[in-house]
Amino acid sequence: MNILSQNTAFGGMQGVFSHASDVTGTEMTFAVFVPPQAIAEKRPVLWYLSGLTCTHANVMEKGEYRRMAAELGLIVVCPDTSPRGNDVPDELTNWKMGKGAGMYLNATEAPWAENFQMYSYITEELPALIAEQFRADMNRQGIFGHSMGGHGAMTIALKNPDRFQSCSAFAPIVNPLTADWTQDAFEKYLGADRAKWREYDACALVEDGARFPEFLIDQGKADSFLETGLAPWKFEEAVKGTDISLTLRMHERYDHSYYFISTFMDDHLKWHAARLESL
């Protein structure tokens, strides 16, 4: 693991690191905030997955999470959104595909399958590195994210309910099978058989029997992607009649930006901490 930067913030450490990934076949970069409490004891881990076009840096620079994470004693891990490098496949004129648009899935189609294994990277390889290098309590993990990252957080939680104890999302893509900005990428990554897409769709996973205790979703009503890309009411409909608890909060005037995310970041951190500290 290479140290790219380390800075003190609110008594803790904000670091940016890189490592050679066996899963993606590339050098991967990620950020970690370690709270001051980790000097003395292992602390819960909260994963934040970013959205389309983003890197680890978007939430690190604009998410405003460090003050509250330090107060609550949360380790916050912010991975990149895709593999990167000159040899990694990409579509330069399509921001919904390729670099910055890994969709948190394991691609099965050429040329994407060789590098775009983000599901395995997030759920297997990077957690092993975090457990080895930081004072992290891997028995207490939560996950959240924004947009594409909200999709990733929800699907990963639904598929790994024994690993994660909490999950929330800002403006998530809850139904990629029908969203206008994911169908093209899903077909290129996973092939034309839509039955295979269901493994990475929160609504479909619930319909197919996957369960997670509860979700918190915040969504801005002024989000330009609300109707065709996000549609959180579809997930609300999917969990009806199940034992899944959903808190869906719709906010007037808020859009899809980090102004929205930073406004409600403290709420999410407190929500996760309450569930992780109770274990």
CATH number (domain holding residue 11): 3.40.50.1820
* C-alpha–C-alpha distance, residues 210 and 45, integer Å: 23
Query: Looking at residue 181, what is its pLDDT?
Result: 86
> Which tens digit of pLDDT belongs to each residue from 111-155?
999 999 999 999 999 999 999 999 999 999 999 999 999 999 999
Helix (H) or strand (E) holding 239: helix 233-239
Please state, for a pLDDT cut of 90, what percent of the chain lies above it.
Answer: 98
> Which tens digit of pLDDT belongs to each residue from 150-207?
999 999 999 999 999 999 999 999 999 999 889 999 999 999 999 999 999 999 999 9
Q: Is residue 49 domain-resident?
A: yes
Q: Read off the pLDDT band of 279 (50, 70, 90).
A: low
Containing structural domain, residue 59: 2-274
Q: Parallel, antiparallel, or unpaired: how do β-strands 75-79 and 166-170 relate? A: unpaired
Q: Is residue 143 domain-resident?
A: yes
List b or e across 49-87, with b for residues whose CB sees 16 or more CB atoms inside 10 angstroms: bbbbebbbebbbeebebbebbbbbbbbbbbbbbbbbeee
Q: Is residue 279 domain-resident?
A: no
Q: Is residue 79 domain-resident?
A: yes
Q: Is residue 36 domain-resident?
A: yes
Q: Is residue 115 domain-resident?
A: yes
Q: Is residue 190 domain-resident?
A: yes
The set of catalytic residues is 147, 223, 256
Q: How many domains does the chain have?
A: 1
Q: Read off the pLDDT band of 277 (50, 70, 90).
A: confident
Q: Are 180 and 229 in contact (CB under 8 A)?
A: yes
Count Cβ atoms within 10 A of the Cβ of residue 154 and give its class: 0-12 exposed, 13-18 middle, 19 or more buried.
Answer: buried
Q: Is residue 200 domain-resident?
A: yes
Q: What would you measure as the largest C-alpha separation in the chain, in angstroms? A: 51
What residues are paired with 146 via a beta bridge?
A: 170
